[in-house]
Amino acid sequence: MESLKRTPLYEDHKKLGARIVPFAGFEMPVQFSSIIEEHNNVRTKVGIFDVSHMGEIWIKGKDALNLVQKVSSNNAEKLSIGQIQYSGLLTKKGTFVDDMLVHKIEDEIYFLVVNASNLEKDFNFILENSRGFDAEVLNKSDETAQIAIQGPFATQVVSKIVKDVDFSTLKYYWFTYCNLFNERCLISRTGYTGEDGVEIYISPKNASNLWNDLLIVGKDYGLKPIGLGARDTLRLEACMALYGNDIDDTTTPLEADLSWILKLDKNCDFNGKEILLKQKEEGIKRKLIAFELKEQGIPRHLMECFKDGEKIGFVTSGTLAPYLKKPIGMAYLSIEHANLDNEFSVDVRGKRLKAVVVNKPFYKRPKK
């Protein structure tokens, strides 16, 4: 693990007895207790995550918006200052370089959050695409720590420390600023769990103070530290895509059932536009669907799917859902087999187990 990076919270994780594993070039906590216990704690109470491994890229300048528009699938022109957008970072073939969150800081400043494993690739890709634009592309990942607080009691816990934000007015996928340890920090109403929550961006020097203060004030609400294992099962129950599993540079937003983040009518040329227009017109040949296994077994990444003996696709993500207590997954299926309630089978360790296409997401948080 010598060549791996460590987040500013590495020593805090060690003190809490976390199981540390290599992940996306970092030494990261995969679990602190058990994945099932941590998962259900986020669903029913509240959890705190170290997501400081994520990448932070800033785009500044007169052509900042034009550059964001060129490389992204969504329409950043629609963003107000303080608003966030989920989007695809697209290749010229209309496939995913990555998925990302686009924050509009000011008219000429945008802040992108990308996946840790793709940071260098994403940064170089945006830099290459910036030729001819009056825009500066900055990688500020090493200067940024990120802590996520997720679950039904997330805002109650955070409001014990963040006194200058009214969470009743901070809407989902919007951000604001707060003062912590004499530092102006960005705080967003976002997350990767399907629960309510916030993500706080803070300098590495103050990250440990914030982490430990939150653990102290969160005790009364059942706050627990959560590792990457539960982060993955939580996002899967909520049908949130994982780059490298559900989306990659071979899949388009249309195939990934993410047409809502693809704005083909935006008033500019962007990477892959013509190819994606053609794909929409001709129709996709496969689609990312959600499914449940009807027999005992656990579906896993790359397991093959069959119908009447013929291979019709493959599993992208799968697990025994800790909160829902059933085997679930997502898979790319041939379009003729991707309809709701369609039955097929998944080859789980040599046994073909019955499965059925279901609605997304598997889990939707109860409305307050």
Encoding tokens for residue 140? Answer: 């500020």
Residue partners of 300: CB distance under 8 A and separation at least 6: 315, 318, 348
| Cβ-based neighbours of 274, under 8 Å, separated by 6 or more | none
Residue 67: what are its φ and ψ, rounded to 5°?
A: -70, -45
Residue range 259-358 forms a domain whose CATH class is: mainly beta
Distance CA 186, CA 112 (A): 13
Same CATH topology for 55-141 and 259-358: the answer is no
pLDDT tens, position by position, 163-214: 999 999 999 999 999 999 999 999 999 999 999 999 999 999 999 999 999 9
Instruction: Residues 5-51+144-237: name the CATH superfamily.
Output: Probable tRNA modification gtpase trme; domain 1 (3.30.1360.120)
| Sequence ranges of the domains in the chain | 5-51+144-237, 55-141, 259-358
Mean pLDDT across 119-138 = 98
Domain at 55-141: CATH architecture: 2-Layer Sandwich (3.30)
Please tell me the distance from the alpha carbon of residue 140 to that of residue 119, in angstroms, as a whole number: 11
pLDDT score for 367: 81
Determine the Cα–Cα distance for residues 60 and 116; give it in Å rounded to an integer. 21
Residue 2 reports pLDDT greater than 90: no
Q: What is the mean pLDDT of the chain?
A: 97
Mean pLDDT of 124-132: 98
Q: How confident is the model at residue 108 (pLDDT cuts 50, 70, 90)?
A: very high
Q: What are 30-83's pLDDT values in tens digits? A: 999 999 999 999 999 999 999 999 999 999 999 999 999 999 999 999 999 999
pLDDT digits (tens, 9 = 90+) for 145-175: 999 999 999 999 999 999 999 999 999 999 9
Instruction: Give the closest residue to 11 by CA, choosing from 57, 50, 58, 48.
Output: 50
Residue whose tokens read 């490389």? 71
